[in-house]
Amino acid sequence: MSATVDVTTWYLEQTSAADLAPARVPGHDAGVGVARAEVPSPEFSRFLYASVGADNTWIDRLPWTYDQWQRFLDRPGVETWVAYERGTPAGFVELDGASEPGSVEISYFGLLPAFRGRGIGGHLLSYGTARAWDLAERREGHPATRRVWLHTCSLDGRHARANYERRGFRVYRTETKQEPRVPPPGPWPGA
């Protein structure tokens, strides 16, 4: 087995709130809701990141310290929106509107494995994208959003890119490069 793997990264964007093509909302009996995690919590954010990314080789933030998580989460324009099914966290979308004025990155998005394939992801992405577009309404002095963007790669879930495109995101750049082959860390990194 090779020590490296070719990884393709697609950068996608919306340049108008009218670009958003919302997914259907899961049925009333599904007990699915989305709420903002209004209190920045490194523990909760790390739980979401590690749990959702465990089988998708999300490893860049695993070495972050508590203080690094706190500094990131305390930045103006950073928000975490969490999908719940009957009170259980099902997934999250993390918005970063702090890096470039007028631009909001969906820095992380995904579902815990047990909640995939049931229509929750499309709804959560729709909801989170709408929150990226109206971020300035919740943040006094924050510039209006002119662009929402994200990136996904060939190591992410097999339906990720298609979900983004169904929600109205368009590819504006593609890169392929060799990266070290790293096994997914599993649900409990370091355990």
Please tell me the distance from the alpha carbon of residue 164 to that of residue 187, in angstroms, as a whole number: 24
- Per-residue pLDDT, averaged over 135-160, amounts to 93
Q: In 3-state terms, what secondary structure has residue 66?
A: helix
Per-residue pLDDT for 2 more than 90?
no
Per-residue pLDDT for 184 more than 80?
no
Per-residue pLDDT for 189 more than 70?
no
Query: How do the residues of the chain divide into helix, strand and coil, expressed in percent and rounded to 5?
Result: 30, 35, 40
Residue 29 confidence (pLDDT):
67
- Per-residue pLDDT, averaged over 184-188, amounts to 67
**Residue closest to 126 by CA, chosen among 29, 49, 24:** 24
pLDDT digits (tens, 9 = 90+) for 12-22: 999 999 999 99
Residue 188 confidence (pLDDT):
60
**Helix residue spans in 32-77 (DSSP H):** 42-53, 66-73
Q: In 3-state terms, what secondary structure has residue 54?
A: coil
**CB 94, CB 82: distance < 8 Å:** no
Better-scored residue on pLDDT, 113 or 181? 113
User: Reading across the β-sheet that carries 32-36, which strands appear in turn?
Assistant: 32-36, 78-85, 88-100, 103-111, 147-153, 4-14, 170-180
Q: In which band, very low, low, confident or very high, does the pLDDT at 1 lie, cut at 50, 70 and 90?
A: low
Domains parsed from the chain with CATH numbers: 4-180 (3.40.630.30)
- Per-residue pLDDT, averaged over 97-102, amounts to 92
pTM: 0.92
**CB 1, CB 135: distance < 8 Å:** no
pLDDT digits (tens, 9 = 90+) for 60-82: 999 999 999 999 999 999 999 99
Residue 14 confidence (pLDDT):
98
pLDDT digits (tens, 9 = 90+) for 159-172: 899 999 999 999 99
pLDDT digits (tens, 9 = 90+) for 38-56: 999 999 999 999 999 988 8
**CB 151, CB 10: distance < 8 Å:** yes
Mean pLDDT of the chain: 92
**Residue closest to 83 by CA, chosen among 110, 62, 107:** 110
Q: In which band, very low, low, confident or very high, does the pLDDT at 191 lie, cut at 50, 70 and 90?
A: very low
Please tell me the distance from the alpha carbon of residue 67 to that of residue 115, in angstroms, as a whole number: 30
